[in-house]
Amino acid sequence: MIESLHYLPVAGSTHEVLSERFTDLAPPLTDRQAAIESARCLYCYDAPCTRACPTGIDVASFIRNIHDHNIDGAATTILQANIFGGSCARVCPTEILCEDACVRNNDAEGQPVKIGLLQRHAIDNAQFDGHPFKRAPSTGKTIAVVGAGPAGLSCAHRLAMLGHDVVVFEARDKSGGLNEYGIAKYKLPGEFAQQEVEFLLSIGGIEIQHGRALGVNLQLADLHARYDAVFLGLGLGASRELGLTGENAPGLMAAVDYIATLRQAQDLAALPVPRRAIVIGAGNTAIDMAVQLKRLGSEEVTLVYRRGFDAMSATGHEIEIAKMHFVRMRTWAAPLDVLLDDAGRVRGMRFEETRLQDGRLVMTGGIIEIAADAVFKAIGQGMGLAALVDPLAREIERSDKILVDDCFRTALPGVYAGGDCVAPGQDLTVQAVQHGKLAALAIHHDIQSKAEAAWPT
Partner 1 sequence: MADLSIDFCGIKSPNPFWLASAPPTDKAYNVVRAFEAGWGGVVWKTLGEDPPAVNVSSRYSALHGKNREVIGFNNIELITDRSLALNLEEITAVKKAWPDRAMIVSLMLPCEEAPWREILPLVEATGADGIELNFGCPHGMPERGMGAAVGQQPDLIEMVTRWCKTYTRLPVIVKLTPNITDVRAPARAALAGGADAVSLINTVNSITHLDLDNMVAYPVVGGRSTHGGYCGSAVKPIALNMVAEIARDPVTAHLPISGIGGIGNWTDAAEFIALGAGSVQVCTAAMLHGFRIVEEMKDGLSRWMDRKGYENIAAFSRKAVPNTTDWKYLDMNYQVIASIDQEKCIQCGKCYVACEDTSHQAIARLVDGNARRYEVKPSECVGCNLCEITCPVESCITMVPQPTGLPYMNWTQDPRNPRAEVVLSDA
Binding positions for partner 1, rule: CB under 8 A = 35-36, 39, 42-48, 51, 67, 103-104, 106, 108
> Closer to partner 1 at the Cβ: 264 or 426?
426
Q: How far is the CB of 42 from partner 1 (least distance, A)?
A: 5
- C-beta of 48 vs 215, nearer to partner 1: 48
Q: How far is the CB of 103 from partner 1 (least distance, A)?
A: 4
What angle in degrees, to the nearest 10, is found between the helix axes of 115-125 and 71-81? 110
Instruction: Give the integer Cα–Cα distance in Å for 210 and 295.
Output: 32
CB of 30 to partner 1, least distance (A): 14
Q: Are strands 346-357 and 333-340 parallel, antiparallel or unpaired?
A: antiparallel
Shortest distance, position 59 Cβ to partner 1, whole Å = 12
Identify whether the C-beta of residue 416 lies closer than 8 Å to the C-beta of residue 135: no
Q: Which is closer to partner 1, CB of 67 or CB of 172? A: 67
Neighbouring CB atoms inside 10 A of 82's CB total 27
Shortest distance in whole angstroms from residue 427 CB to partner 1: 21
Phi first, then psi: what are they for 83, rounded to 5°? -70, -15
Cβ nearer to partner 1, comparing 45 with 310: 45
Q: Report, in Å, the least distance between residue 106 CB and partner 1.
A: 4
- Measured from the CB atom, the residue of 104 and 307 that comes closer to partner 1 is 104
Q: Which is nearer to partner 1, 51 or 226 (CB)?
A: 51
CB atoms within 10 A of CB 207: 12
Nearer to partner 1, 102 or 214 (CB): 102
Output Rg (C-alpha) for the chain, integer angstroms: 23
In 3-state terms the chain splits into helix, strand, coil percentages (rounded to 5) of 40, 20, 45
Whether omega before 424 lies within 30 degrees of 0, making that bond cis, reads yes
Q: Name the 3-class secondary structure at 301.
A: strand
For the bound state, the minimum distance from the C-beta of residue 205 to partner 1, rounded and expressed in Å, comes to 37
Q: Which of 142, 173, 144, 149 is nearest to 233 (CA)?
A: 149
Q: CA 155, CA 145: separation in Å to the nearest integer?
A: 8
Following CA atoms 277, 349, 252, 429 in sequence, which dihedral angle do they give, to the nearest 10 degrees?
70
